[in-house]
Structure 1
Amino acid sequence: MYSKTYSKFYQAKTSKIILLMLAIGLFCLQLHAQQSGSIYLDSLLSTAARNYPLIKAKRLQTQGLQYAVKLQQNGIIPSINASYQVDYATYNNITGMIYPQYITPISGPPSKSNDYKGTPGSAAALNLQWEPFTFGQRGATVELARGKLKNGQADETLTIFQHKIFVINAWLNYLLTADLVKVYQSNISRDAYHLKQSQAVVSSGLRPGTDSSTFHAELANAQIQLIAFERRRDSCLIVLKELTGGKLPGTPVADSAMFKSLPVVTLNADDTEHPELSLQKTNVLTNELTLKTYKRSLLPKLTIWSVGYGRGSGVAADGSVNNGDGWRFERYNYGIGAQLSFPILEVFRQKPLFKQQQLNIEASREQLKQTELHLNTEREIADSALTKAIQSARLAPEALKAARYAYQAIQSRYQSGLISYYDVIQSLQLLYQSEASVKIAYWGAWKSLLTKAAYQGNIDIFLNQYGK
């Protein structure tokens, strides 16, 4: 008696341990699948940010703008030019003023007459020009270059953010089509079973022979639909490959965890600024700095210059000609000075430019307001859509449960010859649609969360829940 009681107790305890181990194993498998899907998505995002050509182009443009800032900062460096020249020309000169823009002047005293015999000459010089004080002009150009750099950085950040949204969207589409392929495969298995079942019922005389033909047609149609969904799945994978720069980071993980859990609606406590708003703000800043640069260009300019040079000429001071003297330096000079220049009437010429730029500033501010208005509207729509998508996803399993119950009941009645093939096909279609609806509903909930993250400007809203 004691032995039997102990044996029953031992068997019951062993069964509980086995069930517990199975439950732990299933939980670990599910957790591993969730982590694998999340890890692979992170790998997709990092690969895309590293390899996608558009992102690389934006990154290179930003690096170029960094050098543009350095270029403007280098304006403090003096300009030193070394030159050497030789010439062969006549030396017929005359007294009087001439504007030398398109005429090469001749140095020396006036000549009594024209002599068309040329003589050589040479010169070498070292010239320095330096603008140590620009009264804010150089500072304005440096600020403008930095403003353009901020604009380029904001554009790069927005491009990366938008591309991450595209990658996640393509990943969700791939997961949906991959799971719908599994649903269709299950549907084909059921159609194949009912084909055999109908053949048995027809053989027993309970149903006419058209039943097996009809089920055979349903099986063929299901196989055609499976091929179509496999094509969709492959297309989604190809799009995902393009978004990662042409090469996927390993084999995609078949992550079904997304269809077993739903996202959670959270309060909008995130104060992260949307990248598109940041870009619009830098546009306003760049326009303001451009106007500032225009206005600073009207201020005086102080230029310090110095020069040292040597000259040689084939014409002597007494007018005699010695061509050999033209190839060597005979006279040397140096000079140093400062010049302060002021564009007196430039302000009147630049007034339309100032007005144009001021209007550009106002336009960019209105564009910023439009962006804020659009994002706020889309956030409200996304919040509502997420709430409704989660509600729909919670109802979908109930419809699937009812469809399975109806299918099982109709299946046994058809086997007994009580109903026609039409009722079985209807229950099959309802079951398939219910299974697919669950997948689509869960996918729609996660897609709505991604939309919320996109308009909130924070990708972590999605990533912090996906695979967790």
Structure 2
Amino acid sequence: MFFPFVPPVRRLPAGSAWLLVALLLAGPASQAQQRPVHPAAGRPLSLNEALDLARTQAPHLQAKAYQVQAAEADIAQTKTQRLPSVRLSGQVSYGSTNAVAGTMLPVGTIIPSSGSLSGVNSYNAVFGSMGTALMEWSPVTFGQYPAQRARAEAARDYAQADADNELFTQQLRVAQTYLDLLATQSLRQVREQDVRRVSILKKTITRLALHGLRPGVDSTLARAAEAQSKLALVSAQEQEADRQARLSTLLGQPGATWQPDTLYNRTLPPALVPPTATHPTLGLQQRAVDLGQARETVIRRQYRPRLSLLGATWGRGSGLGSNGQTDYGLAGAAPTRFNYAVGVGVVFDLLDWPRVQAQAKAENLRTQGLQAEYQQQQLELSNQATLANQRLQLAAERARQAPLQLAAARQAYRQKLALYNSGLATVVDVTQALYGLQQAEQDQVLTANAAWQAVLLQTAAAGDFSFFFTPVTP
């Protein structure tokens, strides 16, 4: 059965808050778990219980919740970018006092040589000091701060939509595996019943062959039929073990054995119209588009200037006196001159336009690709909804025909067996009738299950998992 489990990329659906609260509060408990969680002894595991276990125990759902928290933290970090920057620095140095006039461009590491030009080259060293406090605040960025904030919020919305989509996908996987396990258990029971029936038939044929009433080849064919029946049972047991392990993994429970509720093998779902809802996968895809557009806005606004308010104060000490003396010793390490300055600065990279345009174009093309993926996802979900309706109609027809097939197959088997006991039919006729009975029994036990799987496919296409429980909720 096909489900839209492709995670490409809603307003946020109902249940978003529950996802964070349930997963994050259950995180420490799930990390501390040491043993499987099971329903009460002797009671089947309901589908609702299975979904609750998966919601609170599955590690990858908890990982998605932490990603949402991290995105929230990024928003908080973005808000702090509006705060002013205050940098304090200080140093004490010991070095020569030669100064050279001239201009140096700000490339690499610059070691300033302050003071007036000395008459001669001297290697006499003195102590010096410098302490600064520089404040810079950019209250006007011409939309750069709001764009960064919008990008952080779009990233948070995407993380939330990703968590919601993963939760919905997990619910679908759990329900699918739950129904598959129930179907394989029913199939295994049919195989066990068939093994018992074939074993009795083999004993009867062998006894008739030993008394010379039937040819010896009949007993050989009977043994082959018994072996084939047992092999079919082993295959069913392998499938059941595989579904058990898969369900345990989805529920976050190591080495558990589950007994699903047989309700989904005993009752047929009524025909219902799926609700109109925003599909989580489409919601995730739309959030990806929104995030791409927010990134493009940030890139384009990088070209805008920044207006900054500046303020600074600093103190300067030097072991070189105004008369050129250099014998002040450690006294030069103490600041002796103090200054302050305030100002307004504008930073604008005039030639940055080609780089910004190229980056923005690349981001815009990526966003257009995400929009195309959104349309593709819409198409797939629409076709899946049509397929689900067709499967549900076919399941209803199968439910009408399966009992008739089973009754006819049972009658045909009894008739062939009676004819064989009377010597009017061959063992091949009996085994063919037996095979028809096996298929009829298998179709009968899987009829209701197949109908519920069709409803699950409808649920996957609709994007609202509550729809699946509508037929069985009082």
- Give the TM interval when normalised to the shorter protein: 0.7 to 0.9
Q: Of 114, 122, 135, which residue of structure 1 is paired with 2:121?
A: 114
The question of 1:228 aligning with 2:271 is answered: no
Give the structure 2 partner of residue 105 of structure 1.
112
Alignment of 1:83-94 (within 5 A): 83-94=89-100
Structure 1 distance, partners of 2:195, 2:381, is: 45
Report the counterpart of residue 373 of structure 1 in structure 2: 379
Matches within 5 A, 1:267-416: 267-268=273-274, 270-321=275-326, 322-416=328-422
Deviation beyond 6 Å, 4+ runs, structure 1 = none
Q: Tell me the distance in 1 between the aligned counterparts of 2:138 and 2:257.
A: 61
Contact 2:53 2:251 survives alignment (8 Å): yes
Cα pair distance change 1:85/1:398, threshold 3 Å: same
Q: Distance in 2 between matches of 1:314 and 1:430?
A: 109
Distance 1:245 1:254 in 2: 16
Distance 2:372 2:210 in 1: 78
Q: Matched residues in 2 for 1:346 and 1:214: separation?
A: 86
CA 1:352 to 1:57, structure 2 compared with 1: closer, same or farther past 3 Å?
Answer: same
* Structure 2: stretches of 5+ with no match in the other structure: 1-41
Give the superposition deviation at 1:175.
0.9
Give CA-to-partner distance per residue, 1:323-342, whole Å, 9 cap, x none.
Answer: 31232222222222222333
Contact 1:386 1:445 in 2 (8 A): yes
Contact 2:44 2:259 in 1 (8 A): no
- 2:292, 2:245 → 1: CA distance? 41
TM-score (norm 2): 0.84
| 2:144–2:301 CA contact under 8 A, matched in 1 | yes
Of the structure 1 ranges 299-308 and 186-195, higher mean CA displacement relative to structure 2 is found in 299-308
For 2:437 and 2:366, the matched residues in 1 are separated by 60
Counterpart secondary structure, 1:115: coil
Question: Does the CA-based 8 Å contact 1:197-1:415 persist in structure 2?
Answer: no
C-alpha contact (below 8 Å) 2:278/2:463 kept by paired residues: yes
- Who is 1:174 aligned against? 181
Taking structure 1 as reference, are residues 399 and 108 closer, same or farther at Cα in structure 2, changes over 3 Å only?
same
Aligned residue identity for 2:119? K
Write 1 or 2 for the structure with the bigger share of helix: 1
Query: RMSD of the TM alignment (CA)?
Result: 2.4
How far is 1:246 from its partner?
A: 4.1
Q: Secondary structure at the match of 2:471?
A: coil
In the alignment, which residue of structure 1 is the partner of 2:269?
263
Where in structure 2 are the equivalents of 1:122-137 lying within 5 Å? 122-137=129-144
SS in 1 for 2:350: coil
Give 3-state SS (helix, strand or coil) of 1:80's partner. Answer: strand
One-letter code aligned to 2:358: P
Post-superposition Cα deviations, 1:396-428, rounded to whole Å, max 9, x if no partner, equal 121011111112223333334443322222221
**1:237 shift after superposition:** 0.7
SS of structure 2 residue aligned to 1:132: strand
The answer to whether 1:139 aligns with 2:163 is: no
Q: How far off its partner does 1:157 sit?
A: 1.3
Greater Cα radius of gyration, structure 1 or 2: 1
Q: Distance in 1 between matches of 2:145 and 2:60?
A: 33
Alignment check: 8 A CA contact 1:277 1:368 kept: yes
Partner Cα separation in structure 1 for residue 390 and residue 309 of structure 2: 67
Find the residue that maps to 1:131 and give its secondary structure.
strand
Inter-partner Cα distance in structure 2 for 1:68 and 1:74? 10
**Structure 1 435/337 Cα, relative in aligned 2: closer, same or farther at 3 Å?**
same
How many Å apart are 1:199 and its aligned residue? 4.1
Contact 2:300 2:357 (C-alpha < 8 Å) held by counterparts: no
Q: Note the C-alpha offset of 1:149.
A: 0.9
Matches of 2:249 and 2:470, distance apart in 1? 25
1:348: how far off?
A: 4.4
CA deviation digits over 1:59-100, x for unaligned, max 9? 222211111111111112222222221222222113333324
Cα displacement string for residues 270-311 of structure 1 (whole angstroms, at most 9, x for unaligned residues)? 121111111111122112222222232233312122222222
State how far apart, in whole Å, the 1-side matches of 2:173 and 2:72 are.
28
- CA 1:40–1:101 in structure 2 vs 1: closer, same or farther (change >3 Å)? same
The residue correspondences of 1:198-237 to structure 2 (distance < 5 A) are 198-202=205-209, 205-237=212-244
Instruction: Measure the CA separation in 2 of the matches of 1:58 and 1:287.
Output: 20
The aligned amino acid for 2:222 is F
Q: Choose 141-150 or 296-305, whichever is displaced more.
A: 296-305
SS at match of 1:464: helix
Question: Following the alignment from structure 2 to structure 1, what is the Cα–Cα distance between the partners of residues 125 and 375?
Answer: 72
| Alpha-carbon offset, residue 320 of structure 1 | 0.9
Conserved 8 A contact 2:47-2:261: no
Distance 2:346 2:202 in 1: 99
Cα distance between partner residues in 1 of 2:221 and 2:473: 43
1:202 CA drift (Å): 4.1
Aligned residues of 1:38 and 1:466 also touching (Cα < 8 A): no
Residue 185 (str. 1) matches residue 192 (str. 2): yes
| Distance (whole Å) between structure 2 residues aligned to residue 210 and residue 355 of structure 1 | 79
Paired with 1:446 and 1:37, the residues of 2 have a C-alpha distance of 21
Say how many residue pairs are matched: 431
Whole-Å separation in 2 of the counterparts to 1:203 and 1:372: 68
Residue 299 of structure 1 aligns to a residue whose secondary structure is coil
